[in-house]
Chains A and B, each alone.
Chain A
Amino acid sequence: MGSLKLAAILLLLGSPVLVSAALAQSAPTYGLGRTPSAEEIRARDINIGSTGEELPPGRGTPKEGAKVFTLQGCVVCHGEEGVGGLGPALKSKTSQDLPIWKRERILPLRAPFATTVWDYIHRGMPLGREGTLTPDEVYALTAYLLYVNKVIPEDTVLDEKSLPKVKMPIGDGYARLPDWKPGTRRLEGYPY
């Protein structure tokens, strides 16, 4: 509110440059760099958070994903159904009855959010052609990998609305992150 008042005063003074600075909570000191356009930010911002609000529109099913898995050559490194390749295994071999921390560290199994799976396939796969998959292909591959790990049933349709709602096996069953502060010990009593 205070800054708005100030902005009003500055408007009266007729200085548009100062107004935009005053509207913000703080003023730049050096005035270096330039403001990116909304489109520039969208183009570079590939982070998908757990709410999924950054997800592009699209959809895919496990069945479609199985086809993409073959067509895009995922099988070459990860093997049929994501096992037996030279690359990391993507399908769990362990029982669903085991606690999640006793099972394999496989992204579409261990990740707390399905959005992390989508984000990683989108930014980091396939090897050598990273970033070339369409949103539909990424939704389909995510659905397929969640299905082979028995996280979702085969008839699930994943899109920008349903993907963030997928319940991952880990739930919130992982340790709280340390509340890091400068100049403090990592862990009291460790080991002294």
Chain B
Amino acid sequence: MGSTETPMGSKRTSRRELLKGGATLAGGLTLGVPVHAQTHDHASGSASGSENAYPMIPGNKEMIAYGERSHFVTSVRIPHPMGSKASPDEFGKVFHVASPLQDSVGNVTPSSLHYIATTRQSFIPDIDPKQHTLMIHGLVDRPLIFTMDDLKRFPSVSRLHFLECAGNRHTPRHKTVQESHGMTSCSEWTGVLLSTLLKECGLKSSATWFVAEGAEEVKGASSMPIAKAMDDCLIAYGQNGEPLRPQQGFPLRIVVPGFEGIFNTKFLRRLKVVDRYFMNYNDYGHLKEHEDEAALGFQIGPKSVITYPSGTQQLPGKGSYEISGLAWSGGGAIKTVEVSTDGGKKWNPAELKMTPQRMAHVRFAYQWNWDGNETELLSRCTDEIGQQQPTLEQIAKFFNKPVGDVPGLNNSVMPWKIAKDGKVTNGLA
């Protein structure tokens, strides 16, 4: 293949070549082909250099009112391959949907591409925010009901936080990073700290747990430690500068930074403060036989993955590449990320693309000169409390289990194999 040089100063694209380029982009080379590996032919031969090089799009009402991305950008979510349930199914219920991490740039996931998970297949409740209220009751001095307007009158905070589904486990079967790691996303969430609301209600000294409950069909409810509520939980009404998306719990959800996705109850309608693990359906699902497995249950471990180059992508040839990926931890902010370009023999410090935030994705990168030989790319991260992302072998050894059967949310190192021809495949396969 090889990359095509883009002659500087050539402004004109022939209609034929434009069509060809458009067809290529729209015709299936979407998932897995990085934007920067796609080549654009610009025919030279411009007469004046001042004429329009591209077709012009007339504005329309919709584009003015709520913008759309370019039709050349075709990256989309997919039903996650875990479990056999379709999203949507024939009734319009949604189960698990993965975010296209292979095309992601920066630290934040666009709201429209945020992963989706439901406790069981679910419709989206169509909630009029004027009708919606949050009730806080149980072991409090003053049970209170808040309207959405009430909640917006409290002091607000905006914080970057990742969410990750506990089912986000990479296996040898996964072809792309969307399949292997796509059940995580990161947003800027805006809302009221739960501690602010609980202080308003007055926590009783016997309060040790709280139950968060949503308004969807199954009214999913989970127990969480009150220590977490008072530490950093957020009752969020905003996501990336606008109200929550319906698929993310419009008009209100709880964000439980760094805890497994299921705790981040959507369509939040009720918080009950209690004195014990309440053994809701979701809670029973979290029970484990052994304490070391149970210990991995709430807080997500440090995890990172290279998103470019990743599975099914194609390196056009040897030369310089920015290896890029995401790192996150439920234990706090990411401190360091290392990248190995030789299958784990040597680890190189990666550059972090922003000041890492607590329980948030951070983009990392490492500039690499590929010599054209077969190799394996890996990343690993360490968080601010000193937890380091393990290899699958280390986890298996710890639990004395085969590598294919490690318990908990698998946060192990993900290898991507680079073949001589530049093809990228799952290194676990």
- Which residues of A approach B to under 8 Å, CB–CB? 24-30, 32-36, 40-41, 44-47, 49-50, 101, 105, 107, 110-113, 115-116, 119-120, 123-124, 127-128, 130-131, 173-178, 180-187, 189-192
Contacts and interface: CB of A to CB of B under 8 A. Distances in A.
Nearest to A189: B398
B226 to A, nearest CB: 10
Interface in B121-166: 135, 137, 141-147, 150, 153-154
A47 B150 contact: no
Contact of A46 (B196, B200, B219, B296): B219
Contact of B217 (A25, A119, A124): A124
B386 interface: yes
Nearest to A184: B385
B331 A33 contact: no
B295 A186 contact: yes
B80 to A, nearest CB: 19
> Size band of the B side of the interface?
35 or more
Nearest to A43: B135
Given A46-B219, A111-B279, A176-B291, 12 more contacts: A28-B202, A33-B146, A35-B145, A41-B137, A120-B280, A124-B219, A173-B289, A174-B287, A176-B294, A177-B277, A177-B297, A187-B295
A190 B153 contact: no
Given A34-B144, A113-B279, A187-B296, A47 B221 contact: yes
A165 B288 CA distance: 23
15 contacts: A25-B205, A29-B200, A33-B146, A47-B213, A107-B284, A110-B287, A111-B279, A119-B280, A130-B217, A175-B287, A177-B294, A178-B295, A180-B298, A187-B292, A190-B292
B279 A50 contact: yes
A180 B228 contact: yes
Contact of B291 (A24, A113, A175, A184): A175
Nearest to A24: B141
A25 B269 CA distance: 25
A181 B204 CA distance: 19
In this complex, which of A30, A41, A47, A131 has the most chain B Cβ atoms within 10 angstroms of its Cβ?
A: A47
A182 B294 CA distance: 17
B299 interface: yes
Nearest to A110: B284
Cβ-closest 5 pairs across A and B: A33-B144, A175-B294, A24-B141, A187-B295, A124-B218
A44 B135 CA distance: 8
Contacts of A113: 279
A181 B294 contact: no
A113 B199 CA distance: 32
A40 B145 contact: yes
B394 A191 contact: yes
A123 B284 contact: no
Interface in B289-325: 289-299, 301
A112 B284 contact: yes
A120 to B, nearest CB: 4
Contacts of A176: 291, 294
Contacts of B217: 124, 127-128, 130
A192 B284 contact: no
Interface string B183-227: 000000000000010011111110000010100011101000101
B252 interface: no
B284 A24 contact: no
B261 to A, nearest CB: 16
Interface of B: 120, 135, 137, 141-147, 150, 153-154, 196, 199-205, 211, 213, 217-219, 221, 225, 227-228, 231-232, 269-270, 272, 274, 276-281, 283-285, 287-299, 301, 330-332, 385-388, 390, 394-395, 397-398
Contacts of B287: 110, 112, 174-175
A107 B154 contact: no
Nearest to B395: A191
B137 A45 contact: yes
A152 to B, nearest CB: 18
A128 B120 CA distance: 13
A26 to B, nearest CB: 4
Contact of A120 (B203, B281, B297): B281
A116 B219 contact: no
B135 A36 contact: yes
B347 to A, nearest CB: 15
Given A49-B279, A124-B218, A28 B142 contact: yes
Contacts of B150: 32-33
A116 B280 contact: yes
A51 B397 CA distance: 40
A35 B277 CA distance: 26
A49 B276 contact: yes
A24 B202 contact: yes
Nearest to B390: A191
A107 B281 contact: yes
B187 to A, nearest CB: 21
Contacts of A40: 135, 145
A49 B277 CA distance: 9
B269 A44 contact: yes
Contacts of B386: 185
Contacts of B202: 24-28
A182 B278 contact: no
A111 to B, nearest CB: 5
A104 to B, nearest CB: 13
Contact of B278 (A44, A49, A187): A49
Contacts of A110: 284, 287
A19 to B, nearest CB: 14
